[in-house]
């Protein structure tokens, strides 16, 4: 029996009819067409399918779409705004942190969850935050560099914002 | 890797969950964090006809600490991330927070639940040693009532616990650790994340007013069909001051008490050596924490 669910994805509310045995990864990719979320190992080992669920990064391959009913989800497509790419996305490009690109969405979403809580993370904090996301191109150094760069940009933007308000 | 078909229920009350389990028995599976169940279903290892999600049952999501006197109660759905991040748990039940922090990956910890980590009953599970050291009690409920089982008695072997198919693990209750106590959980694996322990060791010690050890629990994981206590290591420690010789003797006793097997993660001989090394380190670590001036259990 299909279930009616409501998902808020990147700020847009979707009413969907889904079979209970479909994962959130499948529904995001196939029903919503948001293919930035990657389907990798499918058993929670690689992190390619990372999405942010109610503020916390999770493996969307280990979540049934019906379990996400009523929850708020951010995928990689939700990061850029009309002004341009998110600082993390820009930094991944400028720092050369993207090789094949398959892990990138998940890396960036795990990093975003970290920066949402801590704008001055150590390299150890960064490594810890992305430790559930595997890169098989062996590119971790540049990924950590990019997140460090983005952290500074995010922190300076925040500082600038509060300065102009003050 | 597609999931087989099943029907999905997400009741809002505990009674409804228990009714479904009562009605469907072993045909039903309980869905908590899903980080084991959904993997096993994808791999075809289990094929339940119906899933009962616990996500909407409020009381199962709660953490309660009643100040310095009241111990700790964890609903079965409390996540590893919530345990690892909880200020009061880190302060007074640190050994459990240490273990929660070492489970899986950040992504897994945001979903994996304490109830799930118990029910899956893996011999290398991170929470088992700390819960046994803390003397945790596990509450099981079914339609006809409830019972409480100590963490030590809960596990029977790999994948096997005392839980019956119509029962639900609802809560874990932990009394305050003894005064002047400290705990340490050490996990050895090839990597730091997404690792199943080759060996894990939990130690909880209480120091007497005379500076000898008044209380000791030593739990060893991944070296027997379930996490086991080393009674000989505990006996070696209690009544003695934690000097180098005592710690060494206790570590040797722990290595003698375990019964590891050889598998893909390590040989039996290697595991036994690891038990000795990790037990020694964990005892020293627990002693240091017990003696620390910031030790909150001094207030008790």
- Is B107's CB within 8 Å of A58's CB? yes
Sheet holding B7-9, edge to edge: B7-9, B50-53, B28-31
Please state, in angstroms and rounded to a whole number, the distance separating the CA atoms of residues B220 and B203. 9
> How do residues B115-162 score in pLDDT, each as one tens digit?
999 999 999 999 999 999 999 999 999 999 999 999 999 999 999 999
Listed range (B7-11, B49-53, B191-195, B235-239) with the worst mean pLDDT: B191-195
Cβ separation of A43 and B55 shorter than 8 Å? no
B206-255 tens-digit pLDDT = 999 899 999 999 999 999 999 999 999 999 999 999 999 999 999 999 99
Query: Which is it for strands B137-142 and B145-150: parallel, antiparallel or unpaired?
Result: antiparallel
CB contact under 8 A, B3 and A22: yes
Contacts of B42 in chain A (CB under 8 A): 42-43
pLDDT of residue B262: 95
Residue contact A21–B3, C-beta within 8 A: yes
CA dist B124 to B111, B121, B225, Å? 19, 9, 9
Q: Round to whole Å and give the CA distance between B61 and B237.
A: 37
- The superfamily in CATH containing domain A87-159 is [2Fe-2S]-binding domain (1.10.150.120)
Residue B242 is encoded by which pair of tokens?
């934690």
Interatomic CA distance for residues A75 and A58, integer angstroms: 11
Strands (E), chain A: 3-9, 12-18, 50-53, 56-59, 72-74
3-state secondary structure of A61: helix
Determine, for residues B39 and A44 on separate chains, whether the beta-carbon distance falls below 8 Å.
yes
Query: Token digits for A80?
Result: 């850029």
* Among chain B residues, CA nearest to A51: B107
Cα-flanking dihedrals φ and ψ of residue A116, to 5°?
-65, -25
For B255-292, what is each residue's pLDDT tens digit? 999 999 999 999 999 999 999 999 999 999 999 999 98
Interface predicted TM-score of the whole assembly (ipTM), two decimals: 0.95
Higher-pLDDT residue of B171 and B191 is B171
DSSP character for B3? P
B110 → chain A, closest CA residue: A58
With both helix axes pointing from N to C terminus, report the angle between A140-165 and A87-94 in degrees, rounded to the nearest 10: 140
- Surface-to-core class of residue A100, CB atoms within 10 Å of its CB (0-12 exposed, 13-18 middle, 19+ buried): exposed
**CA dist., res. B135 & res. B155, Å (int):** 14
Q: Which long-range contacts (CB under 8 A, 24 or more apart) does A116-123 make?
A: A116/A55, A119/A151, A119/A154, A119/A155, A119/A158, A120/A151, A120/A155, A121/A147, A121/A148, A121/A151, A123/A148
Question: What is the token pair recorded at A75?
Answer: 């995928």
Chain B positions with Cβ closer than 8 Å to A: 1-8, 10, 31, 34-35, 38-39, 42-43, 51, 53, 55, 81, 104-108, 110-111, 192-194
Sketch the domain layout of chain A as residue ranges. 3-78, 87-159
Candidates B197, B183, B98; CA nearest to B135 is B183
Residue B108 is nearest to which of A42, A59, A67, comparing CB atoms? Answer: A59
Identify the closest residue of chain A to B193 by CA–CA distance: A131
pLDDT value at position B249?
Answer: 98
In the predicted model, what is the mean pLDDT of chain B?
A: 95
CA A102 vs CA A39, A47, A52, A97, B194: distances in Å? 9, 10, 17, 12, 19
Which superfamily does A3-78 belong to? Beta-grasp domain (3.10.20.30)
Model-wide pTM > 0.90: yes
Domains of chain B: 7-53 (3.30.43.10), 58-174 (3.30.465.10), 181-295 (3.30.390.50)
Distances (CA, A) of B83 to B35, B68, B88, B95, B146: 17, 17, 9, 11, 25
What is the mean predicted confidence (pLDDT) over B4-26? 97
- On whether any CB of chain B is under 8 Å from the CB of A64, the answer is yes
Domains A3-78 and A87-159 share a fold: no
B54 touches B60 (CB < 8 A): yes
| CA nearest to B192 within chain A | A131
**Which residue of B5, B84, B105 to mutate against A (max A Cβ within 10 Å)?**
B105
Q: Are B74 and B58 in contact (CB under 8 A)?
A: no
Nearest CA in chain B to A66: B8
A43 touches chain B (CB under 8 A): yes
Which parts of chain A register pLDDT below 50?
Answer: 163-166
The model's pLDDT over A4-26, given as tens digits with 9 standing for 90+, comes to: 999 999 999 999 999 999 999 99
Query: How many Å apart are CA B90 and CA A146, to the nearest integer?
Result: 32
Q: Do A47 and B43 touch (CB under 8 A)?
A: no
Determine, for residues A47 and B105 on separate chains, whether the beta-carbon distance falls below 8 Å.
yes
Contacts of B43 in chain A (CB under 8 A): 43
Residues recorded for chain B: 300
Cβ contact, residue pair B39, A62, below 8 Å:
yes
- What is the interface size between A and B, counted as CB pairs within 8 Å? 85
Residue contact B105–A43, C-beta within 8 A = no
In contact, B48 and B30? CB cutoff 8 Å:
no
**Nearest CA of chain B to the CA of A165: how many Å?**
32
- Interface contact flag, A44 B108, Cβ < 8 Å: yes
How distant is the Cα of A116 from the closest Cα of chain B, in angstroms? 15
């Amino acid at each position: 029996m299909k279930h009616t669910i409501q998902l808020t994805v990147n700020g847009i509310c979707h009413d969907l009819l889904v079979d209970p045995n479909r994962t959130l990864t499948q529904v995001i990719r196939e029903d919503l067409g948001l293919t930035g979320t990657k389907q990798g190992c499918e058993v929670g080992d690689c992190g390619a399918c990372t999405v942010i669920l109610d503020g916390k990064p999770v493996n969307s391959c280990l979540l049934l779409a019906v379990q996400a009913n009523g929850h708020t989800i951010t995928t990689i497509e939700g990061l850029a705004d009309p002004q341009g790419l998110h600082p993390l996305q820009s930094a991944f490009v400028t720092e050369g942190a993207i090789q094949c690109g398959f892990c990138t969405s998940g890396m960036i979403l795990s990093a975003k969850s970290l920066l949402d809580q801590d704008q001055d993370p150590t390299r150890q904090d960064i490594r810890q935050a992305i430790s559930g996301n595997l890169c098989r191109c062996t590119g971790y150094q540049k990924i950590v560099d990019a997140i460090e760069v983005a952290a500074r940009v995010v922190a300076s933007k925040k500082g600038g914002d509060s300065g102009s308000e003050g | 890797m597609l999931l087989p078909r099943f029907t999905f229920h997400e009741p809002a009350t505990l009674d409804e969950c228990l009714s479904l389990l009562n009605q469907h028995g072993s045909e039903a599976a309980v869905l908590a964090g899903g980080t084991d169940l959904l993997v096993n279903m994808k791999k075809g290892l289990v094929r339940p006809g119906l899933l009962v999600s616990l996500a909407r049952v409020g009381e199962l999501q709660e953490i309660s600490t009643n100040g310095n006197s009241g111990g700790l109660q964890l609903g079965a759905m409390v996540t590893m991330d919530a345990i690892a991040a909880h200020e009061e748990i880190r302060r007074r039940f640190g050994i459990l927070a240490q273990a929660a922090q070492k489970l899986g990956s950040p992504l897994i910890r945001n979903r994996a639940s304490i109830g799930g980590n118990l029910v899956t009953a893996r011999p290398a599970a991170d929470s088992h040693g700390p819960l046994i050291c803390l003397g945790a009690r596990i509450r099981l409920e079914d339609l006809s009532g409830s019972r409480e089982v100590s963490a030590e008695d809960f596990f029977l072997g790999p994948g096997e616990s005392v839980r019956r198919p119509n029962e639900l693990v609802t809560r874990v209750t932990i009394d305050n650790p003894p005064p002047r106590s400290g705990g340490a959980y050490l996990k050895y694996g090839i990597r730091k994340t997404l690792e199943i322990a080759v060996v894990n060791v939990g130690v909880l010690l209480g120091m007497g007013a005379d500076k000898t050890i008044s209380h000791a629990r030593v739990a060893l994981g991944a070296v027997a069909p379930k996490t086991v206590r080393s009674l000989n290591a505990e006996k070696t420690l209690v009544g003695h001051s934690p000097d180098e010789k005592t710690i060494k003797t206790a570590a040797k006793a722990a290595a003698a008490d375990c019964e590891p097997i050889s598998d893909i993660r390590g040989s039996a001989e290697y595991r036994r050596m690891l038990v000795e090394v990790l037990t020694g380190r964990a005892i020293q670590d627990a002693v240091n924490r017990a003696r620390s001036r910031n030790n909150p259990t001094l207030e008790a």
